[in-house]
Structure 1
Amino acid sequence: MVTFSHTDAGTPEQEWAASGVAALPELPLDTSELAALTFVVLAAHPDDETLGAGGFLARLHAAGAAIELVLCTAGEASHPDSQTTTPERLAAVRLAEFTTAVSGLAPSATLRFLELPDGQLAAHADRIAAAIRESIAGRTAEEVVIVAPYRSDGHTDHDTLGKVAADLATQDGYGLLEYPIWYWLWAGTGDTTWSSWVRVPLSQEEQQAKSAAMRAHASQTEPLSGQPGDETLLSGTFLEHFERPWETFAWHPSHSGNNSAVDAERIFDEVHRREEDPWSYTTSWYERRKRALTLAALPRESYESGLEIGCSIGTLSEELARRCGTFLGVDASSAALAQAAKRLAGHPSAEVKHLIMPQEWPEGSFDLVVLSETGYYLSPEELTELLARIQASTRLGGTLVLCHWRHPISGWQLDAESVHAMARTHLGWPTHGLYQEKDFMLEVFTAPDTSP
């Protein structure tokens, strides 16, 4: 659980500006595509919609898109120590500010207020899900995009609302855009979660509309009074993150448009051609520590034949090859494999091969199979086929290692939990060991040592 306070200095905007966030790919939806969709925009509190997606709301209105805006709480708990107002009076102020802000951004939006208690959305997840379904009723999955707070934003209400939206999108196939707010405060630029997100560049008119909407939320951007407890909630340095000429989202297209293994070759070749080490495998402490934990989790000191699926540039492959009599690293990206081949050049019994799995599969059998940071780049159907391939190719008593990042992966249907859950269900193999923390999960399975 992330711990932070709105009074924290946080990561300066200058650091974010230098991080590469401004160079993220653009959301691949043009004006005509926006106009054909219905956007269900969710806000936990008044001002969330403006901070995270104000410019985008202005664009949707101009494009003629249908907008259903659902506000969960009045934000009445924003100043709990105020001596000059009550939660009831503050709720009335904030709702008026919300109406003014949205009328300037998207006057065509249909507004709905759920009247849920501020800070307690976790107890009302079913009510929120029902409201979203009511807003979507009568539309197909391909016609709907849900816009919600980032599900790991760090604020309990944001996280709850984001998770409800993500669960609905996954279950029913809706598109999903997640907007971060407090993430920009507590996360550092070394947290590479944002590297899979997309960017919506804002026109000057959209920036001006967003700026005017933020001024409407005066109870959050200015002190309520000079009395203790009435201090400004959103500092100037925090608001700098929302004065950018773009907005940032984790993007998950509707299921019918989701990426699959076939797309991986193009996507990851592009990534590796831009940078030799796009995920900082060689320099990041997170990556080096994760590799060390993965290697330490292997139940055997050595293996006869190892297979790494999705070996990328070969940083883990190099370590695995030392513990295998023969080793094969496969990946969909030829650009990544060129680097992996160089790393494995000193291991004559190791090789790399360009394969798009699960459609293509190497010959032979293996007593070690490693699937690290790769399972969620498949569709559910492809992962099912991949697990069947692994089951057929793993020797009796062999080891299967799964290791995956536990945050949303933009543009793909699966996440870490769903990949590991599918492995448990489809294989039925006992778990030798399981390690989980905020950022990743590592699980080791043992194939049965007797034939079924």
Structure 2
Amino acid sequence: MVSFDHRDPGTDEDVWAAVLRRDLPSLDLDVDRIVVVAAHPDDETLGAAGLLATATARGIPIDLVVVTDGERSHPDSPTHSPATLGLVRRRELREAMSIVGVENESLFLGLPDGGTDDHRDAIARALQRAIDRAPADRVLVLSPWRGDGHRDHRVVGEVVEQVCAQRGIRCRSFPIWLWHWGGPDDVPWPHAERLRLDAAARDAKARALEAHVSQLLPLSAAPGDEPTVHARMRSHFARDSEVFFAPRPAPGPVPGAVAPTPDSASGTDAATAPSGEEPPAAPTVGPEYFDDMYARHDDPWGFDSRWYEERKRAVLLAALPRSRYRAAFEAGCSTGALTAHLAERCDRVLAVDLALAALDRARRRLRGRDHVELRRAMLPDDWPEETFDLVVLSEVAYYWGAGDLDRGLTAAVASLRADGHLVACHWRHAVAEYPRDGDSVGAALAARSDLVRLVRHEEEDFALEVYGLSGARSVAAEAGLVP
């Protein structure tokens, strides 16, 4: 995957400081919009956080596409699984982007870390959609440099250059690992440009870099948990400028990419995978879908008007193994129809949703119930840090695409107390806008070795399951009715 060892001391920053005194053309930031395609969370911070801070200070909107979650940054870690590490790195990226002023939600593709070469079409299509999402005459696309010595950086850089050449869009790449393994003779100086950073941009970059704790500091004292960006490597990113490379002569055609059409301009992906190739997993459903639903309907899914929903809630509540819980977390609470019933059986309820309109309606419904807290959250990225003895996933997990389902279930299990229960209830029929159906959610839960299933209720229309952690006991066993 890489042609260097990140543990090596690497090139001293003094070597680079000497050669970077040379005159380089200035990077032109007179643009209407910037799209950044990062191979891993932290690429954009290491290579271009100063540019991003400069752009946001000038009011230039920025969209960020993150190809992988960097879940293999510590392949020998005894304390962090790849799924857990991917969750951590997403959170770190969101914090870093907030520091440099990027307001738009990042698009996480969740493709395999180290396996991007098998997903060039998916990357190309994601970039096409990002470019078309908010058309502008003067767009700049940024990505890691394809000569950086890292396979994922090469693949992403190549795809970006190909798409931009086809679309006639200006792109630039930023080196990261070049500064570690390379020397002055490895730099394509004829293609190099420089962006000078003012004091505010340098400060924002330094603080954004601090957000990537999992990469800068040891995960633990155990072997395999060492930092991936050591202090000597980190010194390359404390400069008063950033270096970018213009593309070399245009590469070949883009696999799976298409020129703008009425479909692609409206956000519909007109490209299809080549014959015999499985298309990439659909992405997680974003907030735009829900905002539109709540803008057009007071009760989009009939939670308050349909007997089906009322009955399903009753089945879920009856399936809870305990009459009362100390603390519950409800993911995707919508307008609070189920939340109100959970509040009657829990000492505290934290309920979240990504739609502000839904939360406004939930607050009106739950007014006066001080033990209920409502928050806006994008799951699984914004999973709360607290622990609970009841976690409820009701009609939410089939919205999670790509790797988000695994990350969401991992976060849910991690937030359970030792005696806690996880409830999953999902519609079983396929919906065109959803990346999966309820049965695939059930299969993912059943495949987890860290859960024990206590309840399984299946109908033609929905499936309901209750899980506990290893050692969990049935209702009768907890009541002492059976050994």
- What one-letter code is carried by the residue in structure 2 that aligns with 1:20? L
* Conservation of the 8 A alpha-carbon contact between 1:151 and 1:166: no
Q: Is the 8 A contact 1:52 1:242 kept in 2?
A: yes
**Residue 208, structure 1, aligned to residue 230, structure 2:** no
Take 2:224 and 2:76, find their aligned partners in 1: how far apart are those partners? 5
For residue 401 of structure 1, what is the aligned residue in structure 2? none
**1:19 positional shift:** 1.1
The amino acid of 1:247's aligned partner reads: E
Whole-Å separation in 2 of the counterparts to 1:39 and 1:417: 24
Q: Structure 1 CA distance, aligned partners of 2:67 and 2:75?
A: 19
1:21, 1:195 within 8 Å by CA — same for their partners in 2? no
Aligned to 1:12: 12
Alpha-carbon shift at residue 92 of structure 1 (Å): 1.2
CA distance in 2, matches of 1:417, 1:65: 31
Q: CA deviation at 1:7?
A: 1.1
Give 1:415 shift. Answer: 5.4
Q: Which residue of 1 aligns with 2:169?
A: 174
Structure 1 window deviating more from structure 2 (49-58 vs 17-26): it is: 17-26
Match in the other structure for 1:92: 87
Residue 161 of structure 1 aligns to which amino acid in structure 2?
A: V
**Residue in 2 aligned with 1:223?**
218
- The alpha carbon displacement at 1:121 in A equals 0.7
Structure 1's unaligned 5+ residue stretches are 252-407, 419-452
Please tell me whether residue 68 in structure 1 is matched to residue 66 in structure 2. Answer: no
SS across alignment from 1:82:
coil
1:193 to 188, 194, 200: 188
Query: Is the 1:129–1:168 contact (alpha carbons within 8 Å) kept by the matching residues of 2?
Result: yes
What does 1:330-349 align with in structure 2 at a 5 Å threshold? none
Matches within 5 A, 1:241-252: 241-251=236-246
The change in CA–CA distance for 1:104 and 1:143 in structure 2 (over 3 A counts) is same
- In the TM superposition, what is the alpha-carbon distance from 1:144 to its structure 2 partner? 1.6
Rounded Cα–Cα distance in structure 2 between residues aligned with 1:226 and 1:22: 42
2:351 matched to which residue of 1? none
Q: 1:22 to 1:211 in 2, by over 3 A?
A: farther
Return the alpha-carbon distance in structure 2 between the equivalents of residues 101 and 5 of structure 1. Answer: 26
8 Å CA contact 1:222–1:232 kept in 2: the answer is: yes
**Which of 149, 154, 173 is matched with 1:154 structurally?**
149
Q: Give, in whole Å, the separation in 2 of the partners of 1:81 and 1:60.
A: 38
* Mapped contact 1:40–1:144 kept (Cα < 8 A): yes
> How far does residue 187 in structure 1 lie from its aligned partner after superposition?
1.6
Taking a change above 3 Å as real, the CA distance of residues 166 and 141 of structure 1, as seen in their structure-2 partners, is: farther
Give 1:95 shift. 0.8
Q: Are the counterparts in 2 of residues 50 and 210 from structure 1 also a CA contact under 8 Å? A: yes
- For 2:35, the equivalent position in structure 1 comes to 40
Deviation by residue 1:330-364 (Cα, 9 ceiling, x = unmatched): xxxxxxxxxxxxxxxxxxxxxxxxxxxxxxxxxxx
Please provide the CA RMSD for this pair.
2.0
- Percent of paired sites with the same residue: 42
**Offset at residue 141 of structure 1 (A):** 7.7
**1: distance between equivalents of 2:135 and 2:81?**
43
Give the match for residue 3 of structure 1. 3
Distance 1:141 1:171, change over 3 A: farther
1:46-65 correspondence runs (5 A): 46-65=41-60
* Residue identity opposite 2:6 in structure 1: H
Alpha-carbon contact 2:188-2:245 (below 8 Å) kept = no
The 8 Å contact of residues 36 and 65 in structure 2, kept in 1 or not, is answered as yes
Q: Write the mapping of 1:299-310 to structure 2, written as runs, cut at 5 A.
A: none
Distance in 1 separating the partners of 2:219 and 2:229 = 12
How far apart, in 2, do the equivalents of 1:91 and 1:22 lie?
Answer: 39
Distance 2:187 2:90 in 1: 35
Separation (CA, whole Å) in 2 of partners of 1:92 and 1:68: 20
Instruction: Please name the residue that 2:287 is paired with.
Output: none
Spell out, residue by residue over 1:158-181, the C-alpha distance to the aligned partner (whole angstroms, 9 max, x if none): 110000000011111101010110
TM-score (norm 2): 0.50
Deviation of the 1:152 alpha carbon: 1.3
Q: Which runs of 5+ in 2 are unaligned?
A: 254-483
1:176, 1:62 → 2: CA distance?
21
Work out the CA distance in 1 between the residues paired with 2:251 and 2:62: 31
Report the 3-state secondary structure (helix = DSSP H, G, I; strand = E; otherwise coil) of the residue aligned with 1:23. Answer: coil
Which aligned pairs between 1:38-437 and structure 2 lie closer than 5 A?
38-137=33-132, 142-251=137-246, 408-409=247-248, 414=249
The SS at the match of 1:247 is strand
Q: Distance in 1 between matches of 2:122 and 2:21?
A: 35
Q: CA deviation at 1:63?
A: 1.1
Listed one character per residue, the Cα deviations across residues 70-124 of structure 1 (whole Å, up to 9, x for unaligned) are 0111111000001111111111111111110111112323311111111111111
* Alpha-carbon separation, structure 2, partners of 1:65 and 1:140: 13
Quick one: distance in 2 between partners of 1:151 and 1:211? 25
- Residue 7 of structure 1 aligns to which amino acid in structure 2? R
